[in-house]
Structure 1
Amino acid sequence: MIKSLSHATIYVTDHDEALDFYTKKLGFEVRMDATMDGFRWVTVAPKDQPQLELVLMKLAPSPVMDEGTVAQMRELLSKGAFGTGVFATADCRGTHAELSAKGVEFIQPPTERPYGTEAVFKDPFGNWFSLTQHRQ
């Protein structure tokens, strides 16, 4: 029986740049950074969420993705075609101000929605995320 989701993938084009963004700007911690048979496995997560790891998967040819697919994925990524998740916060406006001061690019400022207050930001690769303070 499946018990939970333990990992989710975020495609990136550079591991070091991704680590810099996700740890220094978003404040996540590195859970794994290991190279095995020439393949680098990198995961990060919010410090207070031990049950989930975000895999920072570098787009590169592999046994499951040929060069043509990698090129298509890179193009879609650069266009901002991937909305990869929702990060919860207790204070959307405060977190927006904190992350903006660290250089995080927001594509939507905090906005009231039926489900709460939401801002939308993107990582250096084009992935975008909702930052949401859910209604109580």
Structure 2
Amino acid sequence: MQQSLHAVTLVVPDYDDAIAFYTETLDFELVQDIDLGGGKRWVRVTPPGSGDASLLLAEAVGSEQHAAIGNQTGGRVGFFLQTDDFTRDHAAMLAKGVTFEEAPRQEPYGSVAVWRDPFGNRWDLIQFT
């Protein structure tokens, strides 16, 4: 048997704003943007070189989903962007206005720094050693 994680849903306030951030600021690839009717879309973005693993961007509908934007993991870091060159990507993200919560630090597993997307989700930029 072979299985893999295909996508993780990320609730966002607006499809197009989220697409713009992930593709223009982070250089993710827009893999799919399919109109499902009724204002719903199937929108997947993937980091460069990540294979098939992706974020499924889902526009919030209703007060419960809107309340979850930026807090889908209860304030914890919920997303991990792995890189092959921490220094390069950290500098590029800073240059594009990404907000880091901390300076880069070394942990036993590698280099890491916590950042937030414009919707409030906490991420690690991480390079494993």
Residues 71 and 26 of structure 1: CA distance in aligned 2, closer, same or farther (over 3 Å): closer
| Residues 1:134 and 2:128 are matched in the alignment | yes
1:84 offset after TM fit, Å?
Answer: 2.3
How far, CA to CA, are the matches of 1:27 and 1:75 in structure 2? Answer: 20
Alignment of 1:55-66 (within 5 A): 55-61=56-62
1:10 corresponds in structure 2 to: 10
How far, CA to CA, are the matches of 1:114 and 1:120 in structure 2? Answer: 16
* Paired positions, count: 127
2:22 corresponds in structure 1 to: 22
1:93 offset after TM fit, Å?
Answer: 2.2
2:68 corresponds in structure 1 to: 73
Alignment of 1:109-128 (within 5 A): 109-128=103-122
1:82 offset after TM fit, Å?
Answer: 5.2
CA contact (8 A) 1:107 1:121 kept: yes
Residues 76 and 51 of structure 1: CA distance in aligned 2, closer, same or farther (over 3 Å): closer
How far, CA to CA, are the matches of 2:60 and 2:117 in structure 1? Answer: 15
Residues 56 and 75 of structure 1: CA distance in aligned 2, closer, same or farther (over 3 Å): closer
1:114 offset after TM fit, Å?
Answer: 1.2
How far, CA to CA, are the matches of 2:36 and 2:76 in structure 1? Answer: 27
CA contact (8 A) 2:13 2:60 kept: yes
1:10 offset after TM fit, Å?
Answer: 1.3
TM-score scaled by length of structure 1:
0.83
2:97 corresponds in structure 1 to: 103
1:42 offset after TM fit, Å?
Answer: 0.9
Q: 1:94 aligns with which of 88, 91, 100?
A: 88
CA contact (8 A) 1:7 1:52 kept: yes
CA contact (8 A) 1:86 1:129 kept: yes
- Structure 2 gaps of 5+ residues are none
How far, CA to CA, are the matches of 2:25 and 2:88 in structure 1? Answer: 14
The aligned amino acid for 1:115 is Y
1:72 offset after TM fit, Å?
Answer: 3.3
The aligned amino acid for 1:117 is S
1:47 offset after TM fit, Å?
Answer: 2.7
How far, CA to CA, are the matches of 1:30 and 1:18 in structure 2? Answer: 11
SS in structure 1 opposite 2:21? helix
